[in-house]
Amino acid sequence: MEPLGRRRWIIAEGYIPSESTGFDAAMISHETVCLLNTGDEDAHVRLTIFFADREPVGPYCVTVPARRTRHLRFNALEAPMRIPRDTDYSSLIESDVPIVAQHTRLDSRQPPHAVLTTMAFPVD
C-alpha cells in the first residue's frame, strides 16, 4: 500500500470539558485525533500542543503502525504533561510519512452527549 495524505496537520480548536455524565469510558467527554497510515512503514508522529497563555508543550510521540488507524484521545496524553481540562488549546501533528488526520469531540457535560468533527488542516 502507498502512504496517502500529508506530513503536517493542524487542529486549531481544542478543549476537553472536565465534566461528564456518561456511564462508561466511551461517554467520558473527550477530544480525539484520528490518524490513518495507509502505507507500509510505521508513522512516527509528534504532537505539539499550543495554549493561550504559555509556551507550547511537546513533543508527544506516538506511532501509527503500517496499514493501521489510531484514534488517539488527547485526554490520554500524559508525557511530557497532561493536557489541562477546561482550557483552550490547539495542536500541530507532524509525521515522518504521509498520514491523514481528523478531529472529533464528544461532549457529555450534559446528557445526552454532543459530537463534532472536521478534517484537520494540512500545512505542508
46 binds a copy of itself (CB under 8 A): no
121 binds a copy of itself (CB under 8 A): yes
86 binds a copy of itself (CB under 8 A): yes
- Secondary structure of the chain in the HEC alphabet? CCCCCEEEEEECCCCCCCCCCCCCHHHCCEEEEEEEECCCCCEEEEEEEEECCCCCEEEEEEEECCCEEEEEEHHHCCCCCCCCCCCCEEEEEEEEEEEEEEEEEEECCCCCCEEEEEECEECC
What residues numbered 8-37 form the site for a copy of itself, per CB under 8 A?
8, 10-15, 17, 26-27, 32, 34-36
57 binds a copy of itself (CB under 8 A): no
75 binds a copy of itself (CB under 8 A): no
C-alpha cell belonging to residue 71: 484514534
Query: Based on CB atoms, which residue is closest to a copy of itself, 54 or 82?
Result: 54
7 binds a copy of itself (CB under 8 A): no
Q: From the list 40, 41, 44, 68, which residue makes contact with a copy of itself (rule: CB under 8 A)?
A: 68
User: In sequence order, what are the beta bridge partners of 69?
Assistant: 36
Nearest to 104 by CA among 82, 77, 79, 72: 72
Residues lying near a copy of itself in the complex (CB under 8 A) are found at: 1, 4-5, 8, 10-15, 17, 26-27, 32, 34-36, 38, 50-53, 55-56, 67-71, 86, 88-90, 92, 100-105, 107, 109-123
